[in-house]
Every structure is written in structure tokens, then in C-alpha cells.
Amino acid sequence: MKKISKQQKINLAGFVFTCVAGTLLHFLYHWTGENKLVAAFAAVNESTWEHLKLLWVPIVVLSIIEYFVYGKNRPNFLPVKYISAVVGMAFITVVFYTYSGVLGRQAAWFNIALFYMGAAISWFFSYKYMQTDRFSSPIAVPVCRVLAALTAVCFVVWSYTPPSLGIFISPV
């Protein structure tokens, strides 16, 4: 039987943390009486955009911790973490709009499963590419810093003042 590597354990723990924290973040805004501060990082409604926070926030929190534990020694750490979060969010968005567009309706159980699949894809991507030198160019780190900061700002700003686009509209 093959032994599980330290990196595999880290990524499995990251996946579990993302699933648990993301699930809790789905309800946290309402549990806190719609606290405006909590709105910055928890889902405030049932829109697709707000549900992407459920993946983004736990990955960012864990990535910050991972950076100080072992990420400083990996030149591709930040690009891999950022791209893995974006890949998971893109998967969720594309599959959600494809299936709901084709069927003309949504299934809550499938939306929940999509979140977990998006988390699995993010952490698998992170595991796979952290083992390589891919995305370790000198320009990748500063570009991903800017993109990650911009993404975080968009999540916060658009939670309070969402644009008039379908992805920001709550179907409920």
C-alpha cells in the first residue's frame, strides 16, 4: 500500500477545511443578523457571485497560513494558489450556468455538489502544480499578487454594491 505524502495530507486537509469553512460561510451572514462586516467574506444572498466566496475565502485563509509554513520556499506558491482558486471558481460557474441553462432549472443538491467538486478541483490543481516549477516565472508572483488583491477587493465591494449583471442576482 502506497504511503500518503506530506503534500497530499496538506492538500487533503485543505480540501476538508475549504468544504467545512465554505459551508459555514454560506450561513454565517444570516446567523450574525446580517452583520455588514461579515458580508465582506460570507455569502449575503444566493447569487452565483456570492457562492464563489465560499471557495475563495477558505482557500485564501489557508494559503496565507501555508505561505508562512512552507510557501516562502516555493517560487510558484502564490501563482499556483491563485490559479487553483480561479480554476475552481471557473469550474463552478461554467458548470452551473451550463446545466441550469440546458435544464431550465436548478437543483439545490447539485449546486452543493458543485461547490465540493470545485473545492476538489482547486486542491487537486494546487497539489499537482506545487510539485513542479510551472508558474514560477519572475513576473508571475507580482502579477498574481495584483490579481489576488483585485479579486479580494471585487468580492468585498460587489457584496455591498453588486453590478447589474446576472451573476450577481439572487434567484431567490
Whether residue 136 is predicted with pLDDT greater than 80 in this model: the reply is yes
The pLDDT value given to residue 149: 97
Least confident range of 5-9, 140-144, 145-149:
5-9
Question: Is 125's pLDDT higher than 90?
Answer: yes
Report the predicted TM-score, pTM, of the whole model to 2 decimal places: 0.93
Supply 11's cell numbers: 492538500
User: Measured between alpha carbons, how far is residue 23 from residues 18, 119, 170 in Å?
Assistant: 8, 11, 18
Return the pLDDT at 120. Answer: 98
Decide which of 106 and 55 is more confident.
55
How far apart CA 28 and CA 47 sit, in angstroms, is 15
Q: Is the pLDDT of residue 66 over 80?
A: yes
Instruction: Please report, rounded to a whole number, the percentage of residues in the chain having pLDDT higher than 70.
Output: 100
Single-letter code of the amino acid located at 61: V
- Max CA-CA distance within the chain? 54
What's the pLDDT score for residue 6? 87
The percentage of residues in the chain with a pLDDT greater than 90, rounded to a whole number, is 85
